[in-house]
Amino acid sequence: MQVHRPTLAAIAAAFALPACGGDGDSPPMASQGALAFQSATPGATPFLGRLQVNGVDWQNVSAVAFTVANKTGAVSRPVHVRYEAAALLRKGFEGSAVVGTVKSTTVNNFHHNVDLAKTGFLAEFDTTIAGVKHVESQVGEIDTTGAVLQEWDFAKILSDYMTAEGDEPSLFIRPGIDWFHVNSSIYDPRDDSVIVSSRENFVIKLDYKTGKPLWILGDPLKYWYTFPSLRKLALTLDAGGLYPIGQHALSITSDGSLMLFDNGANSLNQPSGAPTGMTRAYSAVSKFTIDATNRLATMNWRFDNAKSIQSSYCSSAYEVSNKTMLVTYAIADGNSARLIGLGTDQKIAFDFNYPSLRCDTAWNALPIAFDALQYR
């Protein structure tokens, strides 16, 4: 097999890798921006990996990372966030940078994703409200100045809902503990709603304006399903479909499906003795058609890579404008990151594999439409 030692300018034209660091599944840095592959530059520290394109090996691939743009290819609103503070950093390709902070007295810090929202950006926060710390259970929409446009506090939303339905919410909602672990949130303009991934529990849809829970898609073998009020919201999955477990990276695809990376990992922070749900020996990318009226979910597409790779945490899958896909296994079998370019026929166009410790190198990977760039 012929061995090459290229730069990655060609690959950068279609794919990019976003920022991450820290321990486990709560990266100290996540962004709607991305880290794009380029050849190494003076003073930069490249990471080396193995790339396979159309069956040809490319050894010792070097890459340098920098923040670029949001996943729609609209480079006019790039945004980057710092985990350790509620700080916003907007960076332009020409080197400009604008720094701001979230204008809230309750927000402590960002975590996980920043995604496009109704008018601004959806972000996940840790908060302190009335002296009580809330861990990874709040989503907010912010604009580019840091102003908070809308907030969804899942401790309050689910507590109010469960109480109204006759359940005891304190058995499920446990402030100060990572009981919810929100890791992805997206806006659905078709019905003015927000869809949120709770790694510990389920995928849940809320009305944008009122915060009313509309439906839940999740593993019925988990703790949440033991509560009648939450079970009432559950969608029934078609036979043969995979309930999402430990999922990340929600998105709405061009055909209107809900897509996510299904990690296959059970819950980590349920009460002692409570059911933690299924675990699979492989991870998959799944697309669902949702019939909210009849509370049905149909899996209409799945890529499981012959059930050959498990990435228990982090990871992502996003569609490119030509309906191809970038799949990222952040922790491929525990010791490496793998970025796979997937054709519409599920044939693998390239497979980039490089050493990684947990989520320290790969968190999510976003396709960047470089053809949308406007040069001035």
φ, ψ (nearest 5 deg) of residue 274: -80, 150
Mean pLDDT score, 314-320: 94
96 pLDDT band (50/70/90 cuts)? confident
Strand order, beta sheet including 80-82: 80-82, 87-91, 97-101
Give the pTM: 0.81
Weakest mean pLDDT among 12-16, 23-27, 213-217, 316-320: 12-16
C-alpha triplet 85, 87, 98: angle, nearest 5° = 155
- 106: Cα separation from own chain's centroid: 23
9, 14, 41, 309, 352 from 55: Cα distances, Å: 19, 18, 28, 19, 12
Distance of alpha carbon 217 from alpha carbon 233, whole angstroms:
8
Q: Which of 89-103, 187-201, 302-316 has the lowest mean pLDDT?
A: 89-103
Write down the pLDDT at residue 85.
Answer: 62
pLDDT score recorded for residue 21: 31
360 pLDDT above the threshold of 70: yes
Q: pLDDT tens, 231-242?
A: 999 999 999 999
